[in-house]
Amino acid sequence: MPHLLMSNAFFALGKGRRRGPLRFKQGGQHILVSSPRAIATIWDADILIWATSAMVAARRCGAPVPAVLQGKRHEILGFSGRHVSGGYYERLPDSLERLSHTRVVLSRTPWTEEQDAGPWIEDWRIAAGYVQIRLAPWLRDAILAPRAVLALDPAYFTLTSGLERLLYLVARRHAGRQPGGWIFEVAHLHRKTATTQTLTAFMAFLRRLARSHRLPGYRIELSGGNWPERVRMRPVIDGSVDNSVDIPVDNFMAARLSLRESTPIALENDR
C-alpha cells in the first residue's frame, strides 16, 4: 500500500455508512476526505491494495502498467483471503461506488470548499465477470513513485476491526522494522485514527490490543500510567518475520499464491 495512506484515517473504520468528512493535517499537508454519499471504508480499500499489488507486479516484470486494471471478480475478492460467495459479488459494486464517490483533497493550505478533490477510482465497470478499474491519476502517481509502497502482512486481512486495521497500517508505516519501534502520545494517536471512541475508551481498546497481540508482526506497549500516556509500537523481529518481508512479488498470480502462503504482498519498499 502507498505509505501516504498509512498514517491517518483515509477511510471510514466502520462498515456502516459514514457521511461526515475526515479532516486532518499530515506533515505540511491538509487532508480532507468526503463524499456526497458514504465515505469508502477500510474494507473497500482492499480493492486499492489489489490494484497496487497488480501495478507493482507488472512493473517488476518489466511490463507496462496499464491505465485500466482488469481482473476477474473472484480474483479481486479472493486476493484478500476472503471466502468468495454470492454476497461478496453483490456487494462489490457498492464498494466500487464508494471508492469512486469519495473525494480526497491534499493541500498545503487549509481546506476550502472551492478546492479540487480527486476520487480513489476515476471509473469502473463490471462485464462478463471481469472488473475494470481506472485509478485516479493522483493515486496512480502516488503508487508508482519511487519507494512509495510498503508490504503488508497477509494476516492484515484477517483483522475484523477497522480500528485494528488502521493501527496495523500506522505501525507498519512508522515502526517498520526498527528494533525500537515508534512511540506516540496516546492522545495524538487517538486524533490520527479519527475514531468515534472517547479517549478513555480508546485507551481501554489499546490495553486489550496489548494483551491480545492481535496486530500482525507488532506488539503494543503502554507506558503504564505515566503522563502523558504513551504507546510504543514495536516490530516482532525474528526469522519468520524477516524472511516473509524479503520475498518479492513477481506477478499478480505470484502475489495471490504468496498471500495463501502467508508472505507479504505489494512489496516495493521495506524499512
Per-residue pLDDT tens digits for 124-175: 999 998 999 999 999 999 899 888 899 999 999 999 999 999 999 999 999 9
Does 148 share its domain with 164?
Answer: no
For residue 250, give the C-alpha cell.
Answer: 513477481
Cα–Cα dist 74/54, whole Å: 15
Among 16-30, 129-143, 253-267, the range with the most confident prediction by mean pLDDT is 129-143
Q: For 29-49, what is the mean pLDDT?
A: 91
Same domain for 56 and 30 = yes
pLDDT of residue 112: 60
Tell me: do 229 and 212 sit in the same domain.
yes
CA distance 269 to 271: 7
196 and 252 inside one domain: no
Looking at the structure, do residues 64 and 144 belong to the same domain, yes or no? yes
**Strand ranges of the sheet holding 22-26, from the earlier edge strand across to the other edge:** 22-26, 29-34, 103-107, 118-119
Top-confidence residue, 122 or 243: 122
Task: Give yes or no for a contact between 35 and 101, defined as CB atoms under 8 angstroms apart.
Answer: yes
Q: Are residues 55 and 76 in the same domain?
A: yes
Identify whether residues 71 and 164 lie together within a single domain. no
Across-strand partners of 149? 2
In a domain, 271, yes or no: no
Q: Would you say residue 12 lies in a domain? A: yes
In a domain, 53, yes or no: yes
Note the pLDDT tens digit of each residue in 47-92.
999 999 999 999 888 889 999 999 999 899 888 877 677 677 888 9
pLDDT for the residue 250: 29
Residues 97, 210 within the same domain? no
Residue 108 lies in a domain: yes
For 105, the 3-state DSSP assignment is: strand
Residues 26 and 144 in one domain: yes
Q: Is residue 253 part of a domain?
A: yes
Prior bond of 228 cis (ω within 30°): yes
The answer to whether position 265 is within a domain reads: no
pLDDT band at 256 (very low <50, low <70, confident <90, very high): very low
Number of domains in the chain: 2
User: Do 84 and 184 fall into the same domain?
Assistant: no
DSSP string, 138-189: HHHHHHHSTT-BB-B-GGGGG---HHHHHHHHHHHHHTTT-TT-EEEEHHHH
Is position 70 within any domain? Answer: yes
Listed in sequence order, the residues at least 6 apart from 226 whose beta carbon sits closer than 8 Å to its beta carbon are none
In a domain, 268, yes or no: no
Q: What pLDDT does residue 245 have?
A: 31
Among residues 21, 217, 204, the alpha carbon closest in space to that of 117 is found at 21
Average the pLDDT over each of 127-136, 155-164, 183-192, 237-246 and give the range with the smallest value.
237-246
Provide long-range contacts, Cβ within 8 A and 24+ apart, for 70-74. 70/130, 70/131, 70/132, 70/133, 71/130, 71/131, 71/252, 72/129, 72/130, 72/131, 73/126, 73/129, 73/130, 73/131
Residue 253 and residue 142 share a domain: yes
Domain that holds residue 33: 3-152+243-260
**pLDDT surpassing 50 at residue 209:** yes
Please tell me the least confidently modeled range out of 58-72, 113-127, 207-221. Answer: 113-127
